[in-house]
Structure 1
Amino acid sequence: MELSQLETFLTVVAERSFSRAAIRLHRTQPAVSQVIRKLEEEIGEPLFERASRDGTLTTAGEVLRDYAERLLRLRNEAASALEEVRALERGRLTLAANEYTCLYLLPVLDEFRRLCPQISIMVQRSLASRIPDEVLRRTAEIGIVSFQPDEDQLAAIAVYADDLVFVVPPKHVLAREEQVQIRDLGAENFVAHNVASPRRKLVEESFAKHRTPLNIGVELPSLEAIKRFVATGNGVALVPALSVQTEIVRGELVSVAVPELDCSRQLWLVYRKQGTLSYAALAFLRVVRTLAEDRGTPFLYVEKKHGDEKKPDASKQSQR
């Protein structure tokens, strides 16, 4: 049973005549009769009273009319819904990020919501190491990670350039300095994340290279906790610049340059290469590109080309 057959059937019912239905459908009467005959054969019941000339329905025909109207109404509703999706008047976008990379999303989502207010957005918090797999398993359409993933099935776009910054509380003696050397930090009490990361390893190697101890006195489970703890005067920290922009502007934390520490990195947007992105996801990518064009560095939009060399593993962010 096809929808086109049901359309012909309902037209005959509405016109109460095979000949008038044929005119309305721009078909010949024999063609209309053939469609109804085939439909009756598939159902196994006559649909019209043969003795009647006004298209009177049989009991089976009455039952089919109700279902045919509902099916065609559903088809029209589906077509309308799909048009709304294309017009970004409805839809859902699922993103995966961790505590850190979610901060990059905030200005992007602000612009996206302004342009596409009808799109529902869900940002699920995930471990960085699991985000590529979540995208591949389709539990998220787009992921934001702080390392270039190894999976060949993923497309990757560099979207933000970030640095590691040294922050101290406003009353700290180093808060008055524009920059310090690593050797000046040997006596400082550092507050760090309690999950080891390749970036932390880079920092440790830099301190070892300058024969300076890295004293980590307190380890906390989140960047937010680290920032608050340092702001209250409990030690110093090395954190992503993106994570302390607000606190530095407010004067709650002070950033002091450490020239010997070069721990810059890029944030990457990833999605399935072979997948078909939703209209909402395509609109999101346009916002990401436009934001990079309008604001410039640190916002980026650099697509990873096939065959690009991987950065050293040490450039990967922690797995939190």
Structure 2
Amino acid sequence: MIHATLQQLRLFEAVARHKSFTRAAEEIHLSQPAVSIQVKRLEENVGKALFEHVGRRITLTEVGRELYDASKDVLGRLAELDGAIDSLSGEVAGTLTVTAVTSAKYFLPHLLGAFLRRYPDVEPKLKVANRASLLERVGDNEDDLYVMGHVPDDLDVEAVPFLENVIAVVASPNHPLASKRKITLKQLTEERFLVRESGSGNRKVVEEFFEDQGLSINPYMELGSAEAIKQGVMAGLGISALSLHNLRLEIAAGQIKVLKVEGFPLRRRWNVIHRKEKNLSPAAQSFIEFLQTEGQHLVNEAMQVKI
């Protein structure tokens, strides 16, 4: 391993994380053959195979798993060193990696764009993932910051609320309930509900609210994204409870109607979180402060959603 280069470790770590030479090459902006050559040279240095090929799939060998863990440690320590150097210089610059749940994609780019206009030397890396994938990334300490709604109690993280998350019940304008002035929760339990996949933070919040009232909803259709649910609602497949941040254009265009339901809208918070032991870079610290002080105002201005 003494002859292994940092570039080889970076390429190997990317291939192991993605389980794909192609996706690793795209991430690092190299050709796939170039990545393959460097990983092959790393295997020669180690003296053992790092990957096993089963059909078109690749998996790590036992040696590969050990090297993957070591590579994450080495690269993570170097990233922390970069942050420490930036801290000493007092500059808000360098890499900022953020992973957010899919529902945050409707507002987070606006906030990140405004932040970068203020701090142009920051190099952002934004990843959007479902809740399960995000929690895995938190566990592996893969990013600086994470944006999510409901924060599990068993996560060893610092959570900073920065934005109100307004969840409303919505339907097609042609739905029979669209013209009602007052709708009971009991009435909603008799409707066809479109929901996110099990484990979704939004679904958990809504189901817990109904359970607190001694009621439950019976999911009619389970869909993998808020975008798919919006299309289903507009097509008249059923009703749903969604964050208003997801619905700005559809509400403005009259394609989706916010229903007047007792107890709704639900008001929760979006949080930016990080591992408690994480040594935050000036860029990460500044982004948290930016979200706290300006996030709500900027999103209200950009989204212009009223109920």
Q: Same fold (TM over 0.5)?
A: yes
Match of 2:153 in 1: 150
Match of 2:205 in 1: 199
Match of 1:167 in 2: 170
Match of 1:37 in 2: none
State the Cα RMSD in Å: 3.4
Structure 1 residue 237 corresponds to structure 2 residue 243: no
For residues 103-159 of structure 1, give each alpha carbon's deviation from its aligned partner in whole angstroms, at most 9, with x where no partner exists. Answer: 342332131122123322112233424535534533100011212343574221111
Which one of 226, 231, 248 corresponds to residue 228 of structure 1? Answer: 231
Match of 1:248 in 2: 251
Distance 1:293 1:252, change over 3 A: closer
For residues 266-305 of structure 1, the aligned pairs below 5 Å read 266-292=269-295, 294=297
Aligned length, in residue pairs: 215
One-letter amino acid of the counterpart of residue 193, structure 2:
F
Give the conservation status (yes or no) of the 8 Å contact 1:154–1:271. Answer: yes
The separation in 2 between residues aligned to 1:272 and 1:248, in whole angstroms, is: 37
Match of 1:138 in 2: 141
Give the conservation status (yes or no) of the 8 Å contact 2:164–2:296. Answer: no
For residues 213-261 of structure 1, give each alpha carbon's deviation from its aligned partner in whole angstroms, at most 9, with x where no partner exists. Answer: 8453322111100001111222211222322233212222110121135
For residues 63-114 of structure 1, give each alpha carbon's deviation from its aligned partner in whole angstroms, at most 9, with x where no partner exists. Answer: xxxxxxxxxxxxxxx9xx95998434x5211011111133342332131122
TM-score by length of 2: 0.59
Give the conservation status (yes or no) of the 8 Å contact 1:195–1:221. Answer: no
The separation in 1 between residues aligned to 2:218 and 2:156, in whole angstroms, is: 41
Match of 2:41 in 1: none
The separation in 1 between residues aligned to 2:87 and 2:268, in whole angstroms, is: 40
Give the conservation status (yes or no) of the 8 Å contact 2:101–2:130. Answer: yes
Give the conservation status (yes or no) of the 8 Å contact 1:146–1:268. Answer: yes
TM-score by length of 1: 0.57
Which runs of no fewer than 5 residues in structure 2 stay unpaired?
A: 1-81, 302-307
The separation in 2 between residues aligned to 1:216 and 1:153, in whole angstroms, is: 32
Shift of 1:175: 2.0
For residues 76-91 of structure 1, the aligned pairs below 5 Å read 86-88=90-92, 90-91=93-94
The separation in 1 between residues aligned to 2:185 and 2:116, in whole angstroms, is: 43
Match of 1:6 in 2: none
> Secondary structure, in 3 states, of the residue corresponding to 1:100?
helix
> Secondary structure, in 3 states, of the residue corresponding to 1:286?
helix
For residues 94-105 of structure 1, the aligned pairs below 5 Å read 94-105=97-108
Distance 1:228 1:127, change over 3 A: closer
Which is further off, 144-153 or 240-249? 144-153
Match of 1:177 in 2: 180
Match of 1:13 in 2: none
Which is further off, 98-107 or 281-290? 98-107
Match of 1:216 in 2: 219
The separation in 1 between residues aligned to 2:294 and 2:197, in whole angstroms, is: 33
Q: Identity rate of aligned residues, in percent?
A: 21
For residues 292-312 of structure 1, give each alpha carbon's deviation from its aligned partner in whole angstroms, at most 9, with x where no partner exists. Answer: 5756989xxxxxxxxxxxxxx
Which one of 99, 108, 125 corresponds to residue 122 of structure 1? Answer: 125
> Secondary structure, in 3 states, of the residue corresponding to 1:101?
helix
Q: Which portions of structure 1, spanning 4 or more consecutive aligned residues, are displaced by more than 4 angstroms?
A: 81-86, 292-298
One-letter amino acid of the counterpart of residue 205, structure 1:
E
> Secondary structure, in 3 states, of the residue corresponding to 1:164?
strand
Give the conservation status (yes or no) of the 8 Å contact 1:158–1:268. Answer: yes
